[in-house]
Amino acid sequence: MLGYVGESLKDKNKVILVHGNADADAVGSAYAISESFPPAAIFAPEGLDRVAKIIADKLNIRVMDECDLSEYELVVVVDTSSPEQLRSGNIRIPKNSVIIDHHIPTGKWTDMQFICDQSKVSCCELVYDIVNASGIGINRDTGMALLCGMLTDSGHFSYANSVMLRTFAEILDVTGITMDEAMDFPRSEVGMSERVAVMKGMERSRFDRVGDMIVAVSNGGSFEASVCRALLYAGADVVFVGSQRDDMFRLSARADQEIVRRGIHLGEIMKDIGNETITDGGGHGGAAGLSGTGDVEAMLHICMQRTMNEFRNIKKNGGSELP
């Protein structure tokens, strides 16, 4: 069924775009498409995050930071739920571009070839299915890029499902990559700037609770995802960490998997807040984001209050205590 997507990608000079501060899932998806359906270039208008840079360096993935889309026959956008996530006001995605995503649809990709499967934990899984359906084999480097995207988006299997695990195992089999290689590949020593950012984010954090459920927020300034992880490890069930750049803000949200099972869905929360505040939000049950024009402290307050309301609903429905 996905073979038609591969047909639209074949033999066209294309550029593949990834979202702002692109993660390993975005870069892995883009690289797999570029290798499987050449010719192709990868464009990251707002750069890569730390882990994605590690993977790009190790696999010698060339990522452009400037690009004229009019020079290409086809534009492909991966792992990006809306145009706003590209975070570059001068980019206009042409009609009939190909959008490949796994987030909750926002309805903002109009007049496009929109391929989305929100049941996938990672976009890399969907890309692998497209490559498979096109009868194209993958080499070791492509397999490693896909595995890294699956690893990071699943929180190193914390949020994985059985479908993702089977796909992961299949890629190990066809490429000969071992489990320890895949687990070690995206890792590197945490730098001093990230360590300091996490400590400052912890210091600036505040929290509230309903029953045994805790939500924490922090204005982290940078390395938002790392601050989120630290606050979850410290005991929070739901965490929102933001940063401010001039009049633009960015929020990362994470939730413990147990609280997701009890009814919290961060993707829905961020999408609703985004619609109400004319910003861009969405994601998965346990990991989501929100960005746009506004004050980060005001947005953190909205996120905390909305989560507290969700906690109260869980408590009202008899799910306030851990089993």
CA torsion through residues 288, 97, 7, 5, sign: positive
CATH for 55: 3.90.1640.10
Residue 80 within a domain: yes
Average pLDDT in the 289-312 region?
Answer: 94
> Cα 57 from chain centroid?
20
By CB neighbour count within 10 A (0-12 exposed, 13-18 middle, 19+ buried), where does 154 fall?
A: buried
**What residues make up the domain containing 248?**
193-316
Verify that 238 and 153 share a domain, yes or no: no
Count the neighbouring beta carbons within 10 Å of the beta carbon of residue 316: 10
Last residue of a domain, one of 156, 184, 212: 184
By CB neighbour count within 10 A (0-12 exposed, 13-18 middle, 19+ buried), where does 54 fall?
A: middle
90's tokens: 């001068």
Verify that 130 and 204 share a domain, yes or no: no
State which amino acid sits at residue 3.
G
Does residue 68 or residue 223 have the better pLDDT?
68
- Strand order of the β-sheet with 287-293 is 206-210, 213-219, 238-245, 248-255, 287-293, 280-283
Nearest to 35 by CA among 189, 186, 157, 141: 141
pLDDT at res. 322: 47
Compute the mean pLDDT over every residue in the chain, rounded to the nearest whole number. 92
Residue 162 within a domain: yes
Verify that 122 and 206 share a domain, yes or no: no
CATH for 208: 3.10.310.40
Residue 213 within a domain: yes
Question: To which H or E segment does residue 292 belong?
Answer: strand 287-293
Average pLDDT in the 65-80 region?
Answer: 95
State which amino acid sits at residue 107.
G
Count the neighbouring beta carbons within 10 Å of the beta carbon of residue 51: 20
Tens digit of each residue's pLDDT (9 = 90 or more) over 179-212: 999 999 998 777 888 899 999 999 999 999 999 9
Verify that 102 and 214 share a domain, yes or no: no
- Name the domain count of the chain: 2
Residue 321 within a domain: no
Tens digit of each residue's pLDDT (9 = 90 or more) over 107-139: 889 999 999 999 999 999 999 999 999 999 999
Verify that 12 and 119 share a domain, yes or no: yes
Tens digit of each residue's pLDDT (9 = 90 or more) over 302-314: 999 999 999 999 9
Nearest to 30 by CA among 156, 151, 122, 136: 122
Residue 323 within a domain: no
Verify that 170 and 250 share a domain, yes or no: no
Share above pLDDT 90 across residues of the chain, in percent, rounded to a whole number: 75
Question: Cα separation of 97 and 95, whole Å?
Answer: 5
Band (280; pLDDT cuts 50, 70, 90): confident
Verify that 46 and 78 share a domain, yes or no: yes
Tens digit of each residue's pLDDT (9 = 90 or more) over 224-278: 888 999 999 999 999 999 999 888 898 999 999 899 999 999 999 999 999 999 8
Band (323; pLDDT cuts 50, 70, 90): very low
Last residue of a domain, one of 152, 184, 216: 184
Q: What is the pTM of this model?
A: 0.81
Verify that 143 and 204 share a domain, yes or no: no
Residue 322 within a domain: no
Whether residue 16 has pLDDT greater than 70: yes
